[in-house]
Chains A and B, each alone.
Chain A
Amino acid sequence: MQVDPIHQFQIKDLMPMVSMNGHHIDFTNSALFMFIIVGAVSTLLIGSTSRRAVVPGRLQSIAEISYEFVADTVQSSAGKEGMRFFPFVFTLFMFVLFANLIGLIPYSFTVTSQLIVTASLALLVFAIVVGYGFWRNGLHFLNLFVPKGVPKLILPAIVVIEILSFLSRPVSHSVRLFANMLAGHITLQVFAGFVIMLAGAGILGIFGAALPFIMVVLLTALELLVAFLQAYVFAILTCIYLNDAIHPGH
Chain B
Amino acid sequence: MDESTRAVRRLVAASAQAGMATGEFLRHVCRTAAHALSASGVGISVMTDDGTRGVCAASDPLSERAEDLQFVMGEGPCIDAFTTRRPVLVTDLGGSAVHRRWPSYASAAVQDGVRAVFAFPLQVGAARLGILDVFRQRTGPLTDEELPLALAFADVTVEALLDRQRGAEDGTVTPGSEPADVGHRAALFQAQGMVMVQLGVSLGEALSRMRAHAYAESRPLDDVARDIVTRRLRLEKDSS
User: Is B a genuine binding partner of A?
Assistant: no
